[in-house]
Structure 1
Amino acid sequence: MSVQTERTDTAPAPVVRKTDPAPPGPAAGGPAGRRRGVPAPYLLLLPALLATVVLLGWPLVKNGLLSFQNLNPRQLILHLTEWNGVDNYTEVLGSSDFWKVVQRSVVFTAVNVALIMVLGTLVGLLLARLGKGMRLLLMLGLVLAWAMPVIAATTVYQWLFAQRFGVVNWILDALGWHAMADYNWFGSQLSTFSVITLLIVWQSVPFVAINLYAATTTIPKELYEAASLDGAGAWTGFTSVTFPFLRPFLWATTFLEVIWVFKAFPQIFAINAGGPDRLTETLPIYAFVEGPGNQHYGMGSAISFLTILILLGLTAYYLRTVLKQEEDEL
């Protein structure tokens, strides 16, 4: 009787069918399987990281080492390494010319980036409103301007603004400004910077405009319809619908343009080599003139390293401002 009671009280053993799924394990996405899959993304990034270290990291280290040396033609010929500590940095930071160039570079970058972002945004919004044919034609012109080599574009601008046979002076003279017939656009600081700014803005606007137009295609049309039903005009629709969607793109593009304009070298150097009287030198031009130009390579390395630090400081300040604004909006 006791045996029968034990049989009835005992729970039946589970029946495992062939169709039941196997318990989770390493092959079925269990914890061990996830741990084995973790290195895969890092392995995919490894070639790019190695290329960055070789092509960017190692030259940066060599530049940093050169900045602590007294490296002139004599040391190069005799294969001498003369360490002078922080003398190059002390001389650069104690020079008033360096700080004038820093101020000039920051103002030059701010003006160019502001013009690029405003004009690029307007052209991008225009692309979104044009018909298919006109949009294709305008985008073709933008792509051609953006794809034109930098030195070729700079040469064209030198021809356009040439003193004697330039097209710009000829047009201004034909319109009645006869005093501009032989005007030297590269004879003063302001006019030279005006030509360089026009060149850099002309080269940069296509990138901003085309990418902004691509960003506008992701905005749902229903939001514009709802805004129009609420009585929103063009400006209200832009501020309430378009701009919130484009804000992340605008922040990222501004960040890229700050870097690109701040380190611009070929346009400025090819136009007038930092002239007249070195009044249009920015930090990259100043580093080249003081370094390879004067055959004082340690000094040039110190200036270029300080340029990198200044650019990192500007970008860090910009990113901090952007993150703070996003936190305030949340």
Structure 2
Amino acid sequence: MTTVTAPAASASPETAGPGAREQSPRRRRFPWAPLALLTPALIMLVVFIGWPLVQLIVMSFQEFGRAQIFGAPPGFVGLDNYVAVLTDAEFWAVLARSIALCIVSVVATMVLGILVAVLLTKLGSVMRTAVSVALLLAWAMPALTATIVWGWIFDTQYGLVNWVLTRVTGTDWTGHSWLIDPVSFYAVAAIIITWGAVPFVAFTAYAGFTQVPDEVMEAASLDGASGFARFRLIVVPYVRSILLVLLILQIIWDLRVFAQIYALQSIGGVRAETNTIGVYIYSVSMASGDLGAGGAISVILVAILLLISGYWIRTMLRQEEQA
């Protein structure tokens, strides 16, 4: 006699084991953890950058002078501040000087910083530590303090530069002022700015150079590639994004430089002939008391920096997509 067995009933999710419940699809949840970690930084950006920037933009459309500083209500003037700034020949002269100084400083900083980074990769541990300490000391020195020290080095009567030139050339350089002439003033300023910025570029570039695979470098060396060819064809493509970020940061920092220029002007420079855009904004806003015009100049500078940053960032993203 044959016994017929009834088909087993399908197990429901409630009666199924824990393994079946794990295999069921889960509803995707919003990633709250990353948002929670980013929230403090976002709050800081809004409070310390976003809100002051909004106030600056609003002020640039107002008549905001000494009377408003002491409590008088500001008046809305529309684009009058921007028209006054953009039609002022002094603004364009200051902007041109600032761009020229920025180009010289950025090129010198990037070239010297990359060379120092390459040097760090070739040195032994002891010498690398010594050079790193020297770079850190230069980097840690405040810009105002460094400018004062460099001002002593280029001092008219007792400066080291004039003393060395007198001994080397046989001509008396005592009494020669490096800060009276605008060209030599900006040369000194470029030296100070570059000296303070090279350590950051050197350390960052060195960190990128250490990530280049040794196997690729050894293979290129065995194929007969020279040191410069390996650097140009292998190292630079690996760290191109890092170098682009460094370039953007240096352009932003050098275009709005303030402390070094203001301190050199206080030591002996002619302010009217050596203003850069950062000092010019301070002069218009604080010395002249026209905060509305100063705000308009600041907004124009922010727009220029955003255009430069946006262009380089877009270029970097395109290169990464092509790679």
TM-score calculated relative to the size of structure 2: 0.91
Superposition deviation, residue 15 in structure 1: 11
Matches within 5 A, 1:56-205: 56-205=49-198
Deviates more, 1:225-234 or 1:118-127: 225-234
State the aligned residue count: 321
Superposition deviation, residue 179 in structure 1: 4.4
Deviates more, 1:154-163 or 1:311-320: 311-320
| Contact kept in structure 2, 1:116 and 1:204, CA below 8 Å | yes
Superposition deviation, residue 135 in structure 1: 0.8
**Do the aligned partners of residues 111 and 326 (structure 1) sit closer, same or farther apart at CA in structure 2, a change above 3 Å counting?**
farther
**Cα distance in 2 between the residues matched to 1:241 and 1:144:** 32
Name the residue aligned to 2:293: 299
Superposition deviation, residue 4 in structure 1: 5.7
**Do the aligned partners of residues 14 and 82 (structure 1) sit closer, same or farther apart at CA in structure 2, a change above 3 Å counting?**
closer
Name the residue aligned to 1:41: 34
Deviations 1:127-168 (A, max 9, x none): 000111111111110010001111110110111111111111
Question: What SS does the corresponding residue of 2:22 show, helix, strand or coil?
Answer: coil
**Do the aligned partners of residues 4 and 228 (structure 1) sit closer, same or farther apart at CA in structure 2, a change above 3 Å counting?**
same
Question: What SS does the corresponding residue of 2:155 show, helix, strand or coil?
Answer: coil
Superposition deviation, residue 123 in structure 1: 0.5
| Contact kept in structure 1, 2:265 and 2:271, CA below 8 Å | no
Question: What SS does the corresponding residue of 1:21 show, helix, strand or coil?
Answer: helix
Deviations 1:45-77 (A, max 9, x none): 111101111111111111112112212223333
**Cα distance in 1 between the residues matched to 2:66 and 2:18:** 80
**Cα distance in 2 between the residues matched to 1:207 and 1:133:** 20
Deviates more, 1:84-93 or 1:273-282: 273-282
Please tell me the residue identity of whatever aligns with 1:223: V
| Contact kept in structure 2, 1:284 and 1:307, CA below 8 Å | no
Deviates more, 1:292-301 or 1:273-282: 273-282
Deviations 1:304-326 (A, max 9, x none): 11111111122223233444455
Deviations 1:242-264 (A, max 9, x none): 22212121111111111111121
Structure 1 unpaired stretches of 5+: none
| Contact kept in structure 1, 2:244 and 2:316, CA below 8 Å | yes
Deviations 1:89-129 (A, max 9, x none): 11001111112222222222121111111110000000000
Please tell me the residue identity of whatever aligns with 1:267: Q
**Cα distance in 2 between the residues matched to 1:4 and 1:177:** 123
Name the residue aligned to 1:31: 26
TM-score calculated relative to the size of structure 1: 0.89
Alignment partner of 1:282 is 2:280: no
Deviates more, 1:98-107 or 1:73-82: 73-82
Name the residue aligned to 2:224: 231
| Contact kept in structure 2, 1:67 and 1:302, CA below 8 Å | yes
**Cα distance in 2 between the residues matched to 1:249 and 1:75:** 45
Name the residue aligned to 1:313: 307
**Cα distance in 2 between the residues matched to 1:192 and 1:46:** 45
| Contact kept in structure 2, 1:172 and 1:181, CA below 8 Å | no
**Do the aligned partners of residues 12 and 210 (structure 1) sit closer, same or farther apart at CA in structure 2, a change above 3 Å counting?**
same
Name the residue aligned to 2:234: 241
**Cα distance in 2 between the residues matched to 1:177 and 1:70:** 58
Name the residue aligned to 1:210: 203
| Contact kept in structure 2, 1:275 and 1:281, CA below 8 Å | no
Alignment partner of 1:219 is 2:212: yes
| Contact kept in structure 1, 2:244 and 2:312, CA below 8 Å | no
Superposition deviation, residue 241 in structure 1: 2.3
**Cα distance in 2 between the residues matched to 1:233 and 1:210:** 24
Question: What SS does the corresponding residue of 1:162 show, helix, strand or coil?
Answer: coil
Deviates more, 1:80-89 or 1:287-296: 80-89
**Cα distance in 2 between the residues matched to 1:48 and 1:289:** 33
Question: What SS does the corresponding residue of 2:273 show, helix, strand or coil?
Answer: coil
Deviations 1:263-292 (A, max 9, x none): 211111111159425222221111111111
Question: What SS does the corresponding residue of 2:254 show, helix, strand or coil?
Answer: helix
| Contact kept in structure 2, 1:160 and 1:166, CA below 8 Å | yes
Deviates more, 1:173-182 or 1:192-201: 173-182
Superposition deviation, residue 202 in structure 1: 0.5
**Do the aligned partners of residues 177 and 297 (structure 1) sit closer, same or farther apart at CA in structure 2, a change above 3 Å counting?**
farther
| Contact kept in structure 1, 2:81 and 2:292, CA below 8 Å | yes
Instruction: Indicate the percent of aligned positions where both proteins have the same amino acid.
Output: 37
Matches within 5 A, 1:13-24: 21-24=19-22
